[in-house]
Structure 1
């Protein structure tokens, strides 16, 4: 049955000589993967490979088979035209990195309107702002709200943060963050993207916080692995 849904591209891979398999986070059905047969060689096709760059926001007319196999796309159009994400090298790198994070983090094939709205609004913010060096850090932290392990702030005055328990504590173990690391980590708590420019990170502290967040995701998400683009991201913002 054909249906229409908004979607955000997470991952695309070449299949054979002429086709693509793309994975998208859809507004109505969660994560879905699609086979785009012949899209790489057909000049007459209305479906263009350029539509499936990381984080592109689309409107899809699709056939969801709901049997675990690849789905098909009948029509596609751009929902939001980005002005800079796919042309600015820093934003391109962030987009590739966050698309990998999302591809490893979200597996559910079900409606989650609040998560979709968060992704949609966040990437539009990234596209329209220039002070974006800390964007990926705040994005990852806020993403944990929707994945179920945002830090418990009730005891945020404590000197240690237990990554496994997702809470601040007075006791240290092999999963806790302390010292200057926790000072840097706390700078992100409770702020919005419009205040990201007020967070004072140098290159070193930015890498420290990123490493904490990656470890945090690894502890809480089964099957999560470090994105291949992580080193590129670190070099761009070092």
Structure 2
């Protein structure tokens, strides 16, 4: 079946001397993996290796056999040319972190246009803004809306956040209940826009604690999710 779709590059892996295996989150078919034969040695082909940098937005035409094997891309071109995402050191570090998160978080070969539109929108937002120190935290929180475990805020005025159950409560009922200044700051992000969340004041320690808590939250709610290796680089950049 020939499919035309917008797509977001999630991950790419060198295979042999000249091939790439790339994972794309497509608008029409969810997460798909493709084998790009000879792309690392080809200088004249229409499909270039540079198109497959992390989180690049593409337009593709692909052949899908839907048998759980690697699919083939017939044509590809950038959907939008980023201005800063892959050239600004800070933003490229954020992009690398986001791609690691998405690699672990998105598994299904199912259409999820709402999630695709969210990712496309926030990537363009990141490309066009410079005040981004809280971006990765806001991104993770809003991502939970599309993955099905956004925190229940009906008791947000209470002291503890129960990471296992995803709710706020007045007492500690298990080892995954956490409290403290970082939880009060976490509450400030809930229900805010990206623009508003950039104004939330966080110290180095609090920002690290909020991020660490969120990654544990993801591990509890997504089977097989692993903490991104790039977290140390991200913490260093924003501190």
**Under a length normalisation based on structure 2, what TM-score does the superposition of the two structures give?**
0.98
For residues 183-210 of structure 1, what are the alpha-carbon distances to aligned partners after superposition, in whole Å with 9 as ceiling and x for unaligned? 1211211101121232111222111110
Q: CA RMSD in A?
A: 0.8
Partner in structure 2 of residue 157 of structure 1: 157
Partner in structure 1 of residue 43 of structure 2: 43
Q: Quick check: 2:161–2:183 contact (8 Å CA) kept in 1?
A: yes
The answer to whether 1:92 aligns with 2:92 is yes
Partner in structure 2 of residue 14 of structure 1: 14
Q: Quick check: 2:161–2:179 contact (8 Å CA) kept in 1?
A: yes
Partner in structure 1 of residue 218 of structure 2: 217
1:164-179 superposed matches below 5 A: 164-172=164-172, 173-179=174-180
Q: Distance in 1 between matches of 2:78 and 2:203?
A: 36
More displaced stretch, 192-201 vs 115-124:
192-201
Q: Quick check: 2:6–2:58 contact (8 Å CA) kept in 1?
A: yes
CA apart distance, 1:109: 0.5
Partner in structure 2 of residue 138 of structure 1: 138
Q: Which runs of 4+ in 1 moved over 4 A?
A: none
**How many pairs are equivalent?**
238
**Under a length normalisation based on structure 1, what TM-score does the superposition of the two structures give?**
0.98
Q: Flag structure 2 segments of 5+ consecutive residues without an equivalent.
A: none
Q: Distance in 2 between matches of 1:34 and 1:216?
A: 31
More displaced stretch, 4-13 vs 225-234:
225-234
Q: Flag structure 1 segments of 5+ consecutive residues without an equivalent.
A: none
Q: Distance in 2 between matches of 1:11 and 1:152?
A: 32
Q: Distance in 1 between matches of 2:20 and 2:237?
A: 29
Partner in structure 2 of residue 118 of structure 1: 118
Q: Distance in 2 between matches of 1:224 and 1:4?
A: 30
